[in-house]
Chains A and B, each alone.
Chain A
Amino acid sequence: MLEVFIGFTMDNPTMLASGILGVSGYTMRRVAKSGAGAIVTKSVGIQEREGNPGPVVLEEEFGLINSIGLSNPGYRKFLDEIRIAREGGKPIVVSLFGSSPEEFSEMINYLEGEADGFELNLSCPHVKGLGMEVSSDLELSEEIMGEARKNTRKPIFLKLGIKNYLELGKIAEEKKLDGVVAINTLPALRIDLEFKCPSLGGVRGGLSGPCLKPVALRCVYDLYSELDIKVIGVGGITSGEDALEFIMAGASAVQIGTGILYKGLEIFKEVENYLREYLRKEKCALEDLVGIANVG
């Protein structure tokens, strides 16, 4: 009843968002077994990266700021983790970051056999020269999307930030990507007054959690009304109601990240159960609800 098709089939519309518990194949397998419909891995790149010095997280009343800094073992070493994650029996979407079309095609070619899909992370807000700075360049983003599409028939999603999200969404559609994911963490920063220095070791961070929800909903709403490809909603989902709000705005599936910190891994089942009960009561199918509240 909650089955969703976004280029592959998921048994329910919840997905693990990239960056949370996605370094290890075993933790991803655990999230899959906890009920997530699909898993998005931590973003991997060409080179091994240690990431930023600590502190890498700040808890705020309104959410969380992180500055992990795209730490990853490099895409080759990551293949084993994907294989382990697959044991959870759910589709595995590999999140990729890079700075040139060639880098993306190299990674896609190598990982394609083990991945069920790819998410292009052109919107990480806390690493210079990667992520957000790539998506600021529409031409480069277009080349990356085109090159990625040439290299795989598996689903490709574009992870959007707040910047240029509609323009990039339209390019994603032109380049025949399968969908867009909105939105990444927002650029953020805090100053520690007592130590008179940035609160994060990596200085710049990304804001996630409940405060992001209205912003993400706006992006999902706009994207759904402008595009024909799938929209996946992410940003501040901590309950079934939150997920439903994204679905009514136009999301075919939702990703959950920071919500795990508030509710534990049970959040995937909680959202699934809420949606199942809602569909039963309303006597409708999930797809009837996608974008139902979107009046353009």
Chain B
Amino acid sequence: MELRFKCPSTRSKVMILKVKRENYKVKTIFFKGKTPNPGQYCMIWIPRKGEKPMAYSYIGRISGVSVEKIGNFTASIHALKPGDYIGVRGPCGNGFSVKKEWSEVLLVSGGVGIAPLAPLAEKLRSMGIRVKTLMGFKTSKDVFFLDRLRSKSEVVIVTEDGSLGIKGLVSEALHSEKLDQYDQVVVCGPEAMIVSCIEVLENKNFTDYQVSFSRYMKCGIGLCGHCSFGEIVTCIEGPVLSREEIMENHQDLGVFRTSSGRREIV
């Protein structure tokens, strides 16, 4: 029997084709595989180290994931060199929803949240849709994908310390935007940033938005339920959720579940 959800749980062994340093703590690894849609993710397996979900940041016959070094597993990804082999299970999840009748879309990112939004900007442009991007980072050192986004969209850059662009939070930049002109707002970033952005959007009565959430995904096939957002199992039904899904499950907004399954309020 076949699994109902087409999130492949069989892993393919792939060779790292290229490694690119994006900034002092983010590296992109490139490998061949099935072409994903923007917003989808894959489970990266490094034998004997573990398996974790990573959003695709480059999309094509050769895809890539951009990984921030935050712990042992991500350090193992950073240690990979071209010619090394890893296991990949993907593409998984739903990806962003895109409509061809849109004329302008606003992307809002916090930190590495820009990773899945960059290929989305490229896809939107290829469809003739105008894109504006609000990119938020802690400091100028953390910035990456700036030129990539600038080539496809109007960019407003925001840093918390003001070392590049506007000083402040990206949610404040969102607050300053006139939203009427956008057919859709797409948000991706840390949970706290997501919460602030949703607050801004709701206060402005703007409802045409979608958000890519980061949850602790373990199995990737909807079995363990660790990644749940309210009643939604984000590994197979997300990671991109519509406003309606977010509102129906708002009690889990700003709540993160640790690897043990314990709720932690962000």
Contact = CB atoms under 8 A, between A and B. Distances in A.
B225 A192 contact: no
Task: Classify the interface of chain B: helix, strand, loop or mixed.
Answer: loop
Interface residues of A, number: 45
The residue among B13, B47, B49, B224 with the most chain A CB atoms within 10 A of its own CB is: B224
Contact of B225 (A20, A66, A80): A20
A263 B5 CA distance: 9
B221 A195 contact: no
Size range of the chain B interface in the assembly: 35 or more
Contact of B4 (A21, A29, A263): A263
Given A24-B261, A51-B218, A197-B48, A261 B225 contact: no
The residue among B9, B231, B257, B259 with the most chain A CB atoms within 10 A of its own CB is: B231
A26 interface: yes
Contacts of A57: 9, 219-221, 223-224
Contacts of A30: 231
Given A51-B259, A59-B3, A194-B13, A66 B51 contact: no
A262 B258 CA distance: 27
A25 B262 CA distance: 11
Contacts of A51: 218, 259-260
Ordered nearest first, which 6 A-B pairs have the shortest CB separation?
A: A54-B51, A73-B262, A59-B9, A21-B225, A30-B231, A23-B261
22 contacts: A21-B224, A23-B226, A24-B225, A26-B249, A26-B251, A27-B228, A48-B260, A50-B258, A50-B260, A51-B260, A54-B45, A54-B52, A54-B218, A55-B51, A56-B219, A56-B224, A66-B224, A71-B259, A197-B48, A261-B221, A261-B222, A263-B4
Interface of B: 1-5, 8-11, 13, 43, 45, 47-52, 85, 87, 218-226, 228, 230-231, 233, 249, 251-252, 257-263
